[in-house]
Every structure is written in C-alpha cells, then in structure tokens.
Amino acid sequence: MTIPSKTEGLPKVAEVAVPLPLLHTFHYEIPLALKDRLQEGFRVLVPFKNRKFLGTVVGFSTSPYKNLKTILDSPDPTPLFSHQMLEFLKRMASHYAAPLGEVLKMALPNFEVQKSKKVKPYLLESLSPEEKETILLTPSQKEILEELKKALTEKCFSPFLLHGVTGSGKTEIYLRIIQEALTQKKEALVLVPEISLTPQLLSRFESYFPGKIAVLHSRLTSAQRREEWLKIKNKKASIALGARSALFAPFENIGVIVIDEEHDSSFKQEEKVRYNAKDMALIRGQLEKAVVILGSATPALESYFNVQQKKIKLLRLPERISSYPLPLVEIVDLKKTQGSPTQVIFSDPLLKALEETLLHKNQAILLLNRRGYAAVQLCQECGYSAKCPHCSVSLTVYTKQQKLICHYCFHTLLISSRCPDCKSSSFTSLGLGTEKVEEELRRFYPEARIARMDRSSTQKKETLGKILSDFSKQKTDILIGTQMVAKGHDFPNVTLVGVILADIGLHVPDFRAPERTFQLLTQVAGRAGRGEKGGRVIIQTFNPSHYSLQFAKTHDTLGFYETELKERQELQYPPFSKLIHFKTSHSLEKKGYAKIQELSRLCQSILKSTPEFAALELLGPAPAPLSKLKDKYRFHLLLKSPSYKLARAFLNQLLKQDRFLSKQPSIQIDVDPLNLL
C-alpha cells in the first residue's frame, strides 16, 4: 500500500482499485500514451505481484515513492463509470467494509464474452405484451401520484414508503410516475425481488414503455447481460428493470427509483459483497436527488420505523382497486384434528374448500414453505436420521426420484428401506414437503389438474415460465408451492389459498421469524379474491394464538408492527440497534474456532480501550446455527450497537487489522445482516 502525499511538484499517479479482497487502493505510474486521455472510471490493465488484473481508476494524486509500477493498457475508449457512479460505489464499499475493487467489478457485466444471439431476455420472449389500456385512478391513487409528481419537479432526494394492500394498484402508480420522469428527460430504475417470478409485471412495463426498457437479472447469459448494460450506457434505454444487480445500471440522470416488494429478503446478497439493494437504492437516490419509492403490502419493520422517525414519508393505499374486498381468513387449529397424519396436510375445512373451488371451476393456491417429499428419513427403532455428511442438516426426501438430497451442497443418496445403522426395516419418512402434498392431493382429486412450483421443480427456466403461463391461462386447477407462489402474481380466478403448515417459519432461530411469517401469510393471502368472485384463505397451524397469525387473519399490518416493535425494543434488536455479523469457516473445526476466538479477543480489546464503545455489546463466539456447510465448520460473532455511528467507529478500528481479517481462514463481515444462520 502507498500513502498519498500532498507534496507539490511530484508526478501525478493513478489510484487504482484492483478486484481482489483487499481494502486498499494502489498507486500506478501513468504511461505517456495514456496521460492525455486517462480519467476516473477507466478500466486499466495493471501488474500486481506476478499477475495482471483489470482494475479501475478511482482517482489521481501524487506520490513520493519511486519505482512505482506502470499501467500497462486501458481497453476502453471511454470511462465505464461516471464520477457520480464512482461516488456511489465508494459509499457502498465503505458502508459494507467491502473491497472497492470487488464492488466495481460486480457493478459491470462480463466484457470478455462473445456476442450473443439477438434474443429477448427470458420470460419476455414468451409473453405477449398486454394491451396498454387506460385505467381510471382511484382518489387515493390520484392523490399519491400528485404528491410524487410534485417531489419529482422539486429535484431533491424524496424517499417514500408506498404501503398498499395486495391488489391496491401500486404498479399503476409506478408506471405513471415513471412516465412523468421520462417526460422530464429523466431515467428510471425499477428493482423487483425475483424477475423470473413476476412475468406479469414485466409484461405491463413492456406494453407501457415499448422499446425503452433494459432488463437485468441473473437468468440472462453473460452476453445478454452485457448487451442490456450497453443499451443503458449508450442511452438506448431509459428504464432499467431487474433484480438487485439492476441497481448498477449506468444511468446519469435518474429521476425515479422504485423498489417493489421492498420487504423481500432476496434484495440482500449473502455472498462476497454482502449488500442490500434496497438500502443502497436509497443511497443512490440521495446522490442522484431522485424520488425513491419503497412499495409493499407488508413493508419491512425497519421501513415502518423510518416512517415513524420521519426519515421516509408514508403513502397509503388502504383498499383494493374496483373495491374488491380482501379475502376472508380462517385459522384451523391442527391440534384439534383427529385421525390419520393426512389431516395434518388437509384438514376437513381445507378439503371442503378445495372441493367447492373445483366444483365452481375456480383455482386454488396451496403454500407449504418446504420443498421435497418429507423433511427427514428416520429409523423408529434406533432413532437414526439421514443427515448430509458435509452439512449439519437433514437430507430431504424426494420420492419420485427415490433420492435423499441436501438443499445446500446437493449431496445425494438413494433412498433405503433399511436403517444403515441397525438394519431395521422401520425406516420411515417424517415431516412434510411440497412433493408429499402433491402426491396426497392427486389421491384426493385424481381428475384435478395440479402443478407444483418450487426450486426443485423449476430448475429449468422454461419449466417455470410454463407453470406460470398455464396457471394464468387456467390450464391448471391447483398450484402447490413454496414461497415462490406468494410473490406478486395476479390470477383473478384464484378464489382459495390454503396454507398447509404456517408454523414452519416460526421455528427458525432468527429474531425476524415472526415478521417473515406475517409477511408471507399476508402476501400469499393476497393472491386470493383479486377478481369479481371474492376470495377465501385457510391457514392451518399448531399455534393458532401466535400474534403473527392473528394479525394476518385480520389484515392488521399496523397492529402487527406495533406489537413487533415492542418485542424488538425489549431485546434491542433492529431497528433499535445496528448489527454487524462476523463469520468464519474452515474444514478443520479447531482452526475455525481458533480464528473466531482470536477475533473475539481482538474485538474485546478494542471495546475496552475506547470508552465510547461501552454501549456496544458483543455476542459469542459460538458455532453458527448451521454449524457445518459443504464440509466446512462455521462459527460466528455478533456486534450490537445502539447507533450506526458507533458501529462504524468500531468497524474502522477493527479494519486496521486487515491482515488478520484476510488471513486464512478469513473473516466475513456482514453489516446489517438479514440472515444469522
């Protein structure tokens, strides 16, 4: 690492961020051939140790050091990053204690790929764009749109939380305010959680803005992704629509940023640069002086808290469009069901409701947030259960394939009729999975047209598109699935939603479990009754009195938030604190534990040496709840701080020990974690 000098008269050098897990930038001499054209944002080929890397010029300074290495080349005729985009990415790297070089690399497509065939991004090619129809706005929509237009005209950072019940017309507001931004010669950024699960949203945008959209998501090939990125860079698209990576669209005059389903945890990247696209969209909006709209029927608790703190303005759509009522919700107590284990899958009320739905030629959605046939294969004689030898989890039973599969590392075993330990034939499958639900459902209703939608059944992208298309065209009567079925689908013929076992999400070792359960139940309930026929929701549970279920039953979002905020405040969890999660893993358990213990001692030393850190709390070290994954033992440490300022000050002290942090086994730092597993 070299230290910038303010000494005048020294030659100008380039400050380069290299795409390596290093927190420092490096100084390089500028060759004569590049002196006149090199600017911030250019990619440059540089020597680093005994290798060559494509880094990015992030600034210029002078250096007192002699014999600096020289930039070898620059492959681009113009900078790939504007000054504003560089500032945003620097802020992002700083916030997450992430190497700037890795952040910059992540923000670009892969330019080292062959030219792609001229194909439209997946899902758009198979959907005929909807006719652009004139929709009359409700009084609430009109009022909200006027407020957003006013904010857009004022040209200052304006964050809003658009809290609208399911089916209240949030998308129409997105379309209208984006149209206004385009009229003002501005651009728009639209983030959705999982683009492949929202084909109807894509279709509406395509019909509203034909030829103006670039689509960015993980199911594109590298070449397609590069072409969509260049479409934005070359000003051939004025709207970028996609998942979290669309945050890096190279616009230079953003007027509106929309984060749809802002509560969704998939906006957080869990590997490498652990960033939250929603939080960073707010930062980008601040830098761009843009209108930022966080939209959801079930906003994140932190977003609701920010409204209370007057950091974000609340806009409400309390009713569905066309005055369709929210569905009636019934909770069934599974403790009171009698008879066979099948009744844990289908209670009498759910079976009767399914019969009525099929009789009237309507459609139903069944949610079980666990894929596979069963959760575990267990020996009733000796208690042996089939576990993954590489991860600390049970293998999931897949009967059709006659296999046991690990959902983390995909380790696979053939199903055995005998226990491998005691050789007993009392080897049975326990628990529920979507495959088991499908099997039982076909037994009850052999004539019904049934489809299953989960990660296992939709590994091929064509399969996912066909499942959604067939259900939309009413070629399927009942759709069974995991949380994928709770996304923002609009199927007017769905009159019944059944939740097979609502308890699953409540038993996760995570303080956010009640919030996620409430959100999932409310979202999936919102798939029912979106047409003229009305809707009904049946939630099956062993814990009917839990407040997350009771508030979901009455569609009382604000009531849930007030209750959950009291719980969080008592335990000093977010939004009443800031969390930093430290993790390490190693194939040798002793080495992993030794590293986390050493980190704990270092953290304790920093806490004791600085009086202002007395308010910080360090939890751990301990094995992670998921203690082994892909043959590596995992350990973690959690820092709780009453404020971001204190957490940041602590992190700055810790980052001075970057050599220790990066030395194997390295320490992964997760600022504002959503997952503590």
Instruction: Report the alpha-carbon distance of residue 178 to residue 251 in Å, rounded.
Output: 14
- What b-and-e string marks burial along 561-587, b requiring 16 or more CB atoms within 10 Å of the CB? bebbbeebeeeeebbebbbbbbbbbbe
Q: Is residue 607 within 8 Å of residue 599, measured between CB atoms?
A: no
Structure tokens at 53: 């890397």
Q: Which residues pair with 45 in a beta bridge?
A: 54, 73
Give how far Cα 595 sits from Cα of 176, 606, 624, 655, Å. Answer: 53, 17, 14, 16
Query: Running along the chain, 677 residues long, what does each successive block of 10 average in pLDDT?
Result: 50 91 92 92 94 95 85 93 96 95 95 54 43 76 96 95 88 96 97 77 88 86 91 95 94 97 93 94 97 96 96 92 82 77 78 94 89 61 78 74 77 83 74 81 92 75 80 92 80 91 80 92 86 86 92 94 95 94 94 94 93 92 87 92 94 89 90 90
Ramachandran region, residue 379 (left: φ > 0; alpha: ψ -120 to 50; beta: rest): beta
Q: Which residues pair with 641 in a beta bridge?
A: 578
What is the helix (H) or strand (E) element at residue 154, kind and residue range? helix 139-154
Rg of the Cα atoms in the chain: 27
Residue whose pair of structure tokens reads 């301990």 in the numeric block: 622
The predicted structure's pLDDT at residue 660: 85
Instruction: Report the alpha-carbon distance of residue 568 to residue 586 in Å, rounded.
Output: 33
Instruction: Report the alpha-carbon distance of residue 485 to residue 468 in Å, rounded.
Output: 9
**Phi first, then psi: what are they for 575, rounded to 5°?**
-90, 10
- What b-and-e string marks burial along 390-413, b requiring 16 or more CB atoms within 10 Å of the CB? bbbbbbbbbeeeebbbbbeeebee
Residue 409 is classified by DSSP as T
Instruction: Report the alpha-carbon distance of residue 192 to residue 205 in Å, rounded.
Output: 12
The predicted structure's pLDDT at residue 341: 55
Structure tokens at 197: 């699960």
Instruction: Report the alpha-carbon distance of residue 236 to residue 250 in Å, rounded.
Output: 12
DSSP string over 488-551:
S---TTEEEEEES-GGGGGGSSSTTHHHHHHHHHHHHHTTSS-STT--EEEEEES-TT-HHHHH
Question: Could you tell me which residues come within 8 angstroms of residue 530 by beta carbon, excluding any fewer than 6 positions away?
Answer: 166, 167, 320, 324, 490, 491, 492, 494
The predicted structure's pLDDT at residue 123: 44
Structure tokens at 140: 């609430």
DSSP string over 313-356:
EEEEE-S-GGGPPPPEEEEEEGGG--SSTHHHHS-HHHHHHHHH
Q: Which residues pair with 291 in a beta bridge?
A: 158, 256
Residue 106 is classified by DSSP as H
Q: Is residue 302 within 8 Å of residue 321, measured between CB atoms?
A: no
Question: Could you tell me which residues come within 8 angstroms of residue 559 by beta carbon, excluding any fewer than 6 positions away?
Answer: 551
Residue 11 is classified by DSSP as P
Instruction: Report the alpha-carbon distance of residue 366 to residue 471 in Å, rounded.
Output: 13
Q: Which domains are delineated in the chain?
A: 12-106 (3.40.1440.60), 139-322 (3.40.50.300), 324-374+431-569 (3.40.50.300), 578-671 (3.30.70)
Question: Could you tell me which residues come within 8 angstroms of residue 647 by beta carbon, excluding any fewer than 6 positions away?
Answer: 578, 580, 616, 639, 641, 671
**Phi first, then psi: what are they for 546, rounded to 5°?**
-60, 135
What is the helix (H) or strand (E) element at residue 287, kind and residue range? helix 277-288
The pairing of beta strand 427-430 with beta strand 376-379:
antiparallel
pTM: 0.88
What is the helix (H) or strand (E) element at residue 103, kind and residue range? helix 100-106
The predicted structure's pLDDT at residue 484: 83
Question: Could you tell me which residues come within 8 angstroms of residue 259 by beta carbon, excluding any fewer than 6 positions away?
Answer: 191, 267, 277, 278, 281, 292, 293, 294, 295
Question: Could you tell me which residues come within 8 angstroms of residue 143 by beta carbon, excluding any fewer than 6 positions away?
Answer: none
Instruction: Report the alpha-carbon distance of residue 344 to residue 501 in Å, rounded.
Output: 8
DSSP string over 157-210:
-EEEEEEE-TTS-HHHHHHHHHHHHHHTT-EEEEE-S-GGG-HHHHHHHHHHST
